[in-house]
Amino acid sequence: MITKDTLMKEVFVEGLRKYMQEDEKVVVLDADLAKCLGTNKLWADFPDRTFDVGISEANMVSIAAGLSAYGFKPVVTTFAPFATRRCADQIMISLAYAKQNAVIVGTDPGICAELNGGTHMPLEDIGMLRSIPGVVIYEPTDAVELAALIPQVFAQKGVVYVRLHRKNPPLIYSEEENRKFDLFKADVLKEGKDVTIVAEGIMVETALSAADALKEEGISCEVIANHTVKPLDEKTIVDSAKKTGAVVTCENHNAMGALRSAVCETLCENYPVPVRSVAVKEQFGEVGKVAYLRKAMHMEVTDVIDAVKEAIKAKK
Amino acid sequence: MNSAELKAFAKDIRVNIVNCIGSIGSGHVGGSLSIADVLAVLYGKHMNVDPKNPKMEGRDRLVCSKGHAGPAVYSVLAEKGFFDKDVLLTLNKGGTTLPSHCDMNKTPGVDMTAGSLGQGLSCAVGFALGSRLKKDGATIYAIIGDGETDEGQIWEAALYAGHQKLDNLIAFTDYNKCQLDGYTDKINGLDPLDKKWEAFNWDVIVVKDGNDVDEIDAAIEKAKKTTGKPHMIILNTVKGKGVSFIEDAVPGNHSMPMPQDKCAIAISEIRGE
């Protein structure tokens, strides 16, 4: 039973445990942060298939490639900046270019790194990986969606990057609604006619709050939760843009290379409409709690409201 | 193969390397020729592989982490019959199955992709862990370059392989003392290289003449008898070994022109004609 207190990391690790029980080819590699995600809880049950390689992320990724080439299904985990920028070349060459399989789990996306500060705050990780051919990039929206999509994540061939919030962001979905999630389909949470807000991760709730506030002002927002930025569900986004004529992207990432870029690229080629973005703009991360960081990085509800109004204004 | 056959096999590999690189006019000839002898010993005597079934379960595997020595690997694979020797003449041509750097998805018999230096030894560690899990009894071989040893990831892999006591892993350093920009001791000195690997809890064997098939063979036999540690066989080699004008070009023979007239001279020398 998933509640508002359920931690995403617990959902992930239990999903991983089930995957390991079902398939003896699954191996898990950590780089001295297993206790943070909770993958250390797998060590007792799977002593032969769990490897903590120490603080050597590049080594971890290439070892995973070797295990993949040997017929195993590696899952590698660490904090998102170390899972991506620290070992970008190993992901590119040892895994993707060599056509190997791995699920890379990078935790604490964007400002969720909070008190670990700018060194640990990945605002460029998606941008770095999105240009590597074939890499699937998934960021869970909440624990309910994560639980539903874990089997689809593990069923993928090639490299999948899971950008995982370890904590318990507000539930967007409930288990009772029994929603059918698709790893490659964005979810239209709210239909509207004046503007489309495409949001990811912790910004989905922000977008919904902005939509509620804007409704009071007579502005009708369509809200799309976009959990997979690569490959992008182009159809859902283009269809919505055709309906509303303006788009706002909301993401917990640098404005370059991730959701804003993917949506703009798609719309430019298929159905150009005004786009405005709520994202981190040419800033490094810094230490602080999420509430402070949202303000410092301009990722608050008011920022979404402003962006929506600008996008609508640009339509005319 | 016996000693004489291994020596002849190494000559055939060298001729193939020259023809392979000569087919496109230039390439990584120095570091390819320096590992011809270890490849001869591995594929001529030690490795359990099947050219008719390159993906055979439980086979021994080689990671040529110094991926730019692809022409040397292709030369031994062609000689073993993994593919036709004519294919060697397609090196680096558009659409080839033989790219400059080893690619497991293009070339039958190549076990791991390499080219961005430093990664292959970690991949070999992954192989060795995989073999241990599968209990298939395979031996995992890896060849790293001396210049490649500058990479931090080599030492990450070294530390973890030692920690895991991966005695099914036999690695070789092609210690030809040269890297692209010059002599290794002028760029970023490695000595005492044996002590470094020993300090990382590896079983270390130094081969005085790393281009002598008998010495290489003896080192591999010795490594196979030592348990509880991964093995590093340091091969003191000559970059460009077997062709005097290429040897004389050190340290500038990392990649060099190989026009057809030079290839003919090289092959005559290798054949002892």
DSSP-based three-state secondary structure for B222: helix
Query: Which percentage of chain B shows pLDDT scores above 70?
Result: 100
Q: How far is B248 from chain A (nearest CA, A)?
A: 34
- Paired residues of B45 in beta bridges: none
Question: Cβ–Cβ contacts within 10 Å for residue A246, how many?
Answer: 23
Residue B164 is given by DSSP the state T
For chain B, the structural domain boundaries read 3-271
* Chain B (161-220) residues lying within 8 Å, Cβ to Cβ, of chain A: 163
Q: What pTM value is reported for the model? A: 0.97
- B56-101 residue pLDDT tens: 999 999 999 999 999 999 999 999 999 999 999 999 999 999 999 9
Cα(B224)–Cα(A109) distance, integer angstroms: 46
ipTM (interface pTM): 0.96
Query: Chain B partners of A66 at a C-beta cutoff of 8 Å?
Result: 63, 112, 122-130
- Paired residues of A65 in beta bridges: none
Question: Cβ–Cβ contacts within 10 Å for residue B57, how many?
Answer: 9
Per-residue confidence band for B249, with pLDDT thresholds at 50, 70 and 90:
very high
- A197-217 residue pLDDT tens: 999 999 999 999 999 999 999
List the domains of chain A with CATH numbers. Answer: 8-164 (3.40.50.970), 184-315 (3.40.50.920)
Amino acid A10: pLDDT: 98
Amino acid B86: pLDDT: 98
Q: How far is A67 from chain B (nearest CA, A)?
A: 5
Contact B160 A54 (CB under 8 A): yes
CB B156 within 8 A of CB B122: yes
Per-residue pLDDT of chain A (316 residues), as tens digits, is 999 999 999 999 999 999 999 999 999 999 999 999 999 999 999 999 999 999 999 999 999 999 999 999 999 999 999 999 999 999 999 999 999 999 999 999 999 999 999 999 999 999 999 999 999 999 999 999 999 999 999 999 999 999 999 999 999 999 999 999 999 999 999 999 999 999 999 999 999 999 999 999 999 999 999 999 999 999 999 999 999 999 999 999 999 999 999 999 999 999 999 999 999 999 999 999 999 999 999 999 999 999 999 999 999 7
Amino acid B134: pLDDT: 98
Contact A70 B104 (CB under 8 A): no
Amino acid B31: pLDDT: 97
**Is B135 at the interface with chain A, CB within 8 A?**
no
Alpha-helical segments (H) within A259-300:
259-270, 290-296
Average pLDDT of every residue of chain B: 98
Residue in A56, A70, A94 to test binding to B, most B beta-carbons within 10 Å: A70
Amino acid B273: pLDDT: 80
Amino acid A210: pLDDT: 98
According to CATH, the superfamily of the domain at B3-271 is: Thiamin diphosphate (ThDP)-binding fold, Pyr/PP domains (3.40.50.970)
